[in-house]
Chains A and B, each alone.
Chain A
Amino acid sequence: MGKTIVEKIFSKKAGKDVEPGDIIEVEVDYVMVNDITGYPAIREFEKLGVKPKIDKIIIIPDHFVPNKDIKSAEQAKTLRNFVKKYKIKHYFEVGRNGICHQIMIEKGFVAPGRLIVGADSHTCTYGALNCLGIGIGSTEAAVVFATGKLWFKVPETLKFLIKGTPRKYVMGKDIILKIISEIGVDGANYKAMEFHGDTIRKLNLSDRLTITNMSVEAGAKAAIMEPDEKVFNYLKYRTIGNYEAVYADRDAEYEKVFELDVSNLEPLVAKPFSPGNVVPVRELSDIEIDQAFIGSCTNGRIEDLRIAAKILKGKKVRDYVRLIVIPASQEVYQKALEEGLIKIFLEAGAYVSGPTCGPCLGGHVGVLASDEVCISSTNRNFIGRMGHKNSKVYLANPAVVAASAITGRITDPRDLDRD
C-alpha cells in the first residue's frame, strides 16, 4: 500500500513503515518558539536541569516586539537571556527578524522532507515547501529543547485536488477560505491536508503558503504540498544543509478526496466570528470599516504587498479609515522599499511599520476599540481577536483589504477597476 507525503516523512523519521494511528517518538529537525510561547517553554525547560539541544532550537520574538509594554519587555528579555546563557545559535533579534514563520522560511530552516515543530499554531505553513511543520505547545517545546524528540500520532490524510485558473484578484486566501467553509473549522482536526492539482502548480509560493498557513483554521495537524521548480529555486541560496523532496505515492490511501474547481471562484470574506463564515466580497459592500490591515504570517509577503500597492497607487485611504501595512520580515520590508511599494503606501496615507505580528492577535500597532470594524489580511476573526469584545474582524485577501481602505467599505477590487 502506498503512502501519503506525511506518512512518508514520518516513516523516514521513525526508521520504519508507519500508518495512520501509530504513535511514534521521533527526532525533529528543529523546534521554534516565539516570545509568547517561548517564555513558558524556557521556564518549563529550566525545571529539567539539563543542557539544551542548541543546534535544534530557533528563537524568534515576533508577537509583542518591539516590546509593547513592560511585561512583554520582561518576557522578551527572558528569551534573550536564555539565548546568551546557552549560546543558542539561531536567535533573531528585532531589526533582523520578522514574523517567525516567514523567518523560518527565509533563513533556510524550512526545506522539503524535514520535520519541524513550532510553538505556534501556524507552523503548518511550512508544508507549502514540502516540510512537515506541526504546531505544539510550550511545555512540549521545552521537552524538545531537552531531548530533541517528541511523540506524534501519525494522522490520516485528506487529499485536496484543486483545478482551474483563478480569476484576477482571487488569491490563495480565497482558495483556503473556500475550503474551510466547505469542510468546517474542525473538518481536518487531527488530520493532514495534502494539496494537489494544476492550480497549486500555477500559484506562486506566497499564495501556496497562505493555503497551508490557514489549514489550521480547519483544525489540521499539518498541511503539505509536493515541491516543484518554484520551491527549489526559492530555496537555492537559502537552505541550511541538504534536503530530500518527498512525493506522495500514486497508490497512497487517503481518508477522503476533495475536488475543487477555482475557475469561477470570486474574492471571498470570512465574517465574524469564524474563519468558516465565508461569503463573496460583493455581498458585504455595505459594511463600513474603521481599519484595514495588510500583514501577518498569512498575507504579509512581498507578493501580497505588490498587489495591494498596485490597487493603492495614486489613490488615497478614505477619511477616518486607518490602513496599516506591516511587511512580514525585514527582507520583505527591504524589498518593498526597493520596489517603491512603501512609497505608494505612504502617499496613499497608510501607516507602515517594521515587522511584527502586532494587530493580528490584538497585540499592538492597531488594536480595535468597541464597535470598530477591521478588514484584515490575517487568519482569525474570533470574538475580540483584534481588541475590544465588541469589535469585528473580516478576513480577506490583501487586494480586497487595499480596495476597502480606499472606499471605506468592504470592496471587491474588481469594482474599482470598472470606475
Chain B
Amino acid sequence: MRKKIIGRVWKFGSNIDTDQIIPAEYLVTDDEKELAIHAFEKVRPNFYKLVKQNDIIVAEYNFGCGSSREHAVRALKGLGIGCVIAKSFARIFFRNAINLGLLVVEADIVADEGDIVEVNLDENIIYNKTKNLSFKFKKLPNFLLEIIDSGGLINYVRKKYQV
C-alpha cells in the first residue's frame, strides 16, 4: 500500500515554466532547501514561507514547460510539495519529477486554493475533502510506479543493477 498524500491546495495556471519555478540565477546548487527559498520568487514572492509539508499544487495545462533544469523539481521538493496535479505536464519536467521521486498526477480536478485534497495512488483517486468531490485519474505505468516506489531513479537503478 502506498502512502496517501493529504495537503492544502495552491492553484496555478497554464504554461508554468521552469524559469518561474526556479529562476536561472539560482542554478548554482542542487540543494533542495536552498533552491526552495527562491521557488516562484518572481511570480509569488515568499511562497516558501507560506507552503507547508505535503501541500499540493493544482495547475492547468503544460506545467513545467521550458528549460530542462531539474532544479525546478528539487525546489518543489525543498518546499515540501507532496504532489503536483495538472491537466498536463511538459515532458522533461514530468520525467524529472518521477526520477527525483516527486509525485505528479495528470488529472482534471475541481479545487480552490486552500482546499484539502487527498491523493490515493493505490485507487487512482483524488478526493477533495473540502468540497467532498472525487476524481479518478489514469494509473501511471507500472515501471514509473516502480521508480516512484524506489524513491527515484538512482535508487531504482541501484536495485535493478545491484550497485
Contacts and interface: CB of A to CB of B under 8 A. Distances in A.
Contact of B61 (A75, A186, A190, A367): A186
Interface stretch (A44-52, A227-235, A280-288, A347-355): A44-52
A37 B70 contact: yes
B28 A75 contact: yes
Nearest to B24: A361
A57 interface: no
Given A137-B70, A363-B25, A189 B88 contact: yes
A221 interface: yes
Nearest to B45: A389
B68 A219 contact: no
Contact of A383 (B20, B88, B92): B20
A120 B18 CA distance: 12
Given A146-B157, A185-B65, A189-B62, A136 B92 contact: yes
Contacts of A36: 24, 27, 69, 71
Contact of A219 (B65, B69, B153): B65
Interface in A127-159: 135-140, 142-143, 146-147, 151
Interface stretch (B47-55, B95-103, B129-137): B95-103
B42 interface: yes
A146 B91 CA distance: 23
Contacts of B28: 64, 69, 71-72, 74-75
Contact of B154 (A139, A151, A362, A385): A139
Nearest to B62: A186
A140 B153 contact: yes
Given A136-B95, A139-B70, A140-B95, A40 B30 contact: yes
Nearest to B160: A147
Interface residues of A, number: 49
A137 B96 contact: yes
Nearest to A275: B66
A39 B158 CA distance: 20
Contact of B143 (A23, A120, A138): A23
A102 interface: no
Interface string A174-191: 000000000001100110
B68 A137 contact: yes
B1 interface: no
Given A75-B28, A140-B95, A389 B43 contact: yes
B40 to A, nearest CB: 10
Nearest to B72: A137
* Closest A-B pairs by Cβ, 4 of them: A71-B28, A389-B42, A137-B96, A186-B62
Given A135-B68, A135-B92, A142-B154, 11 more contacts: A40-B30, A40-B70, A50-B163, A64-B28, A121-B68, A137-B73, A139-B154, A140-B153, A146-B161, A383-B43, A384-B42
Interface of B: 15, 17, 19-20, 23-25, 27-30, 41-43, 61-62, 65-71, 73-74, 88, 90-92, 95-96, 99-100, 141, 143, 152-154, 157-158, 161, 163
7 contacts: A75-B28, A137-B92, A140-B96, A143-B153, A146-B163, A383-B17, A384-B23
Interface of A: 23, 36-37, 39-40, 43-44, 47-50, 63-64, 69, 71-72, 74-75, 119-121, 135-140, 142-143, 146-147, 151, 185-186, 189-190, 219, 221, 274, 361-363, 367, 380, 382-385, 389
